[in-house]
Every structure is written in structure tokens, then in C-alpha cells.
Amino acid sequence: MKKEFERVAELKEQMRTILDRAESEKRSLNDEEKTAFTGLKNEKELIQVKIEKRNLENETPERRVIHGKALFAKAIDDIVNHRSLADYSGVVTENGIKVIERADASITDAAGVSPMVPVTIGDVIEPLEKGLIIDKLGIKMQSGLVGELIFPTLQAVEASIQGENATVGDTKLNIGKITAFPKRVSISIPVSRKAIKQTNYSLQDIVLKQISLGSARLLNKWMFSGTKLDGASDGPFVKAQANIEYEAALTFANIVSLETTVMGEGVDVTDGTAAYVCTPAVYGALKSTPKEKGSAEMICKDNMINGYPVLVTSYMDTDSIGFGVFSYCAIGQFGDIDLIVDPYTQSKANIINFVLNSDFDIVVARTEAFAIAKKKA
């Protein structure tokens, strides 16, 4: 490492010599000096990146995350200011952030320059379920999957009563599986170069957080909507007909019926993941509706209904409430989560596009583990 620091010092001195010579002669750099200066600068920055990468190995995970964000911010800084991105190829930090070059765009000029689009892979965005309610329901979420996400299924069998010497018939054991099929999840956010500069390259707050929340919102909508999303698999509450239909207002009997409907299908509701999910409007109504006429106790009290937690989301259908055992549902994220920074497509408008692409699927192992009540049309 000592030799590397010495080499950086030599390179700085040579760069300073070139600039001092031009300044003393009161002129700008000629073509030969520009080429030499750029070569020295690129070599210096590459050595510094290698030193920084090694230093990360001796730092705490918290500091590594900071360095990962700083590395990404520097890449955007270089994009905004039209600097070379060659030094970022293959740079990996310990928290899983990787910045690579991708020749998605190619422009040939007199110098044969080929611009590169940086792609970040890894934990540059917060967990997609954070901040919304998926993470509060015991739903299995697996990331970085390769191949398939499979739920094995087993059909229930039952014994029979036979005579003392009768020959018992064979019972077939039906074992099946439910397989997830990746669906592309994508979001693109355009940001002006001016906005990036004025916020001092605070990308985590400006762009990455919104991309994370935008993806989480889609997964929550996919999970809790009673209407199937275009291109998506069925969520647990997508049903041809509601299990319970009520007239003017929900009653405590309606709420209990959702639980007994699930229990009637032989589903274990005691594994700790059973819960009610409803819209804010329904939640408010249940907090102000007595269990029985004249009772001082409301249907919903202390965020509990019928002995189970109740969670609120705007993605449930209007005037509906669902009950489910969420261990029978899983979210699979396949491969890498790619965040592509595209400074070219809208360059005439001074805009940089941040584009996220990944593959997800939601798998419902047993549709019988979920029931929903809706208001009659």
C-alpha cells in the first residue's frame, strides 16, 4: 500500500507540473498536455478507488454502507459533470453494492468515445416491504432467488372404520406443488441534473427512497387488492365472490364468520400469522361500532378484533375486510435488483433517469386460508 501512496504522490506532482507550466506561460493546455494530464488523473483515481476498496474490509458494516452510498453518489456526480466512469467497473463494497459499466449507449466521435451507463446491484434500496404492512404479517419473503419458488402441497387423508377381518382399501397420497413464475417489476424516475446538484447529491433521500417505496406500494397492492392486477398472479383476496356479504354495516357476527370460514377449511389459525386486514374507513367504523346493541365495547379495540391483530391498508377494496393466515403466502424476488442510471435518453432536457428492474411473484399456498367480507352492491 505504501508504494501505491507514493505513486499517487508522484502522479499529483506530475499533474501539478503540467498545470504550472501552462500557467507560467499564460496559456491553456495544448492537446498533448491534455492527453497526458487525463492519463495521469485516471491512473491516480483508479489507485485511490483500489485503496478505498481495501480499507472497507477493516470497517464496521455501518461505515461500509456509508461508503457504498458515497461511491454511488460519486458515480452520479461524475455523470452529471460528464466525467469518465471507467474506474467504477467491478467496484464492490462489503454491503453488497456493486457498480458496473454497461455499454447501453454508444456514441462515436473523433476520439472514439463510448459512454457507459452505470448499473448498481445489491442493497442500494431499502427492503421493499419496509414501511408498509407486508412485513407485519409474517409473510415469507425470499430474495435473490435462482430457479423456482415452490410450495409443496399435500391433500388431506382420512382413516375409515372397518370390520375385524375386512381388507382395508388403499388411500392415495396426493402430493403437489405451487410454483412461482417471475413477473417484471419496474419503475423509472426522471430527475433533473440541477435538482441533483442543488441537493448535494443526496440520492438516498431524493430517488432511492422513492423507488423503494414505489416498489413496496406495488407489492402491497398486489397482496391486498381484491382485483387481480394486470400481468400479476392472484393475490390471496382475489376471489370470484366474497365469502361474506353484509348489508349496511359490518357486524361482529360478520367478523367472526370470516375466522370460522377459514377454520372450516381445516386451516390452523393458531400459528401466529392470522390477522384481519381492512381499509382505513372500515377500521374507523369498527372502532366506533358496538359489539352488540347497547354495549360499551367496540368491535375493534386496541388494534385487535376478535382476538386477532388488525392492520390497515388503503389497498384493500372499498368497504371490505379480510382475514387470513399469512404463513400460507410468500413473496419471491428473483435474481438481482438492478438500478440503472441513464443520463442519455433525456439528455436534451437535462434529465437523468433512474430505472429499477427486478422480478417478483406472490404465491398463495392455500386459498382457503383467506376469506373476505364485502358490502353488497
- Report the CATH number that the domain containing residue 259 is assigned in CATH: 3.30.2320.10
Residue 80 sits in the same domain as residue 196: no
Q: Global pTM?
A: 0.66
Please state which of the ranges 176-180, 224-228, 289-293, 341-345 shows the lowest mean pLDDT. Answer: 176-180
Instruction: Tell whether the model's pLDDT for residue 175 goes beyond 60.
Output: no
61 vs 83: CA distance, rounded Å:
29
Residue 111 has pLDDT above 50, yes or no: no
Looking at 2-30, list the stretches that DSSP marks H as alpha helix, in order from N- to C-terminal side. Answer: 2-24
Secondary structure percentages of the chain, helix, strand, coil, to 5: 35, 25, 40
* Domain-embedded: residue 170: no
Mean pLDDT to the nearest integer, 339-354: 85
The mean pLDDT value for 153-168 works out to: 65
Domain boundary among 121, 143, 167: 121
pLDDT given at position 59:
54
pLDDT of res. 42 = 80
Higher-scoring residue by pLDDT: 20, 222: 222
What is the percent of the chain with per-residue pLDDT over 90, rounded to a whole number? 24
317 falls within a domain? yes
The residues facing 370 across adjacent strands are 324
**Which band of pLDDT confidence, cut at 50, 70 and 90, is reported for residue 110?**
very low
Residue in the block written with cell 406495488: 218
What is each CA distance from 93 to 203, 248, 333, in whole angstroms? 18, 58, 22
In a domain, residue 88? The reply is yes
My answer on whether 130 and 35 are in the same domain is no
Is position 34 within any domain?
A: yes
Interatomic CA distance for residues 339 and 354, integer angstroms: 7
Instruction: Report the SS3 class of residue 262.
Output: helix
Domain that holds residue 34: 2-121
Please name which of 376, 336, 366, 372 lies closest in space to residue 119, comparing C-alpha atoms: 336
**Residue 48 sits in the same domain as residue 15:** yes
Q: Which residues lie below 8 Å from residue 7, measured CB to CB, with a gap of 6+?
A: 47
Among 99-108, 135-144, 307-316, 358-367, the range of highest mean pLDDT: 307-316
192 & 322 share domain: yes
Going by pLDDT thresholds of 50, 70 and 90, the confidence category of residue 125 is low
pLDDT exceeds cutoff 90 at 177:
no
The DSSP code sequence of 306-339 is: TTEEEEE-TTSPTTEEEEEEGGGEEEEEEEEEEE
End residue of a domain, out of 121, 136, 165:
121
141 and 110 part of one domain: no
Residue where a domain stops, chosen among 121, 137, 164: 121
Identify the helix (H) or strand (E) that includes residue 353: strand 351-364
Whether residue 92 is predicted with pLDDT greater than 70 in this model: the reply is no
Between residues 94 and 295, which one has the greater pLDDT?
295
pLDDT of residue 130: 46
Say how many residues make up the chain.
377
Residue that is written with C-alpha cell 498533448 in the block: 32
Same domain? 48 vs 61: yes
Q: Within this chain, do residues 280 and 323 fall inside the same structural domain, yes or no?
A: yes
146 lies in the same domain as 281: yes
The pLDDT of residue 89 is 56
pLDDT surpasses 60 at 127: no
If phi > 0 it is left, if psi is from -120 to 50 it is alpha, else beta; for residue 287 that is alpha
Both 76 and 132 in one domain: the answer is no
Check whether residue 139 and residue 116 sit in a common domain.
no
Residues 223 and 185 in one domain: yes
* pLDDT for residue 339 is more than 70: yes
Instruction: Give the tens place of pLDDT for each residue, 179-233.
Output: 778 889 998 888 888 877 776 666 666 777 788 888 888 888 999 999 999 999 9
The reply to whether 164 falls in a domain is: no
Q: What is the residue-averaged pLDDT of the chain?
A: 78
Residue 160 lies in a domain: no
Least confident range of 14-18, 66-70, 214-218:
66-70
In a domain, 307, yes or no: yes
- Paired with 331 in beta bridges are 141, 362
Domain presence at residue 146? yes
Given this model, what pLDDT does residue 109 score? 38
Question: What pLDDT is recorded for position 115?
Answer: 45
Total structural domains within the chain: 2
In a shared domain, residues 196 and 78? no
pLDDT value, residue 292 = 86
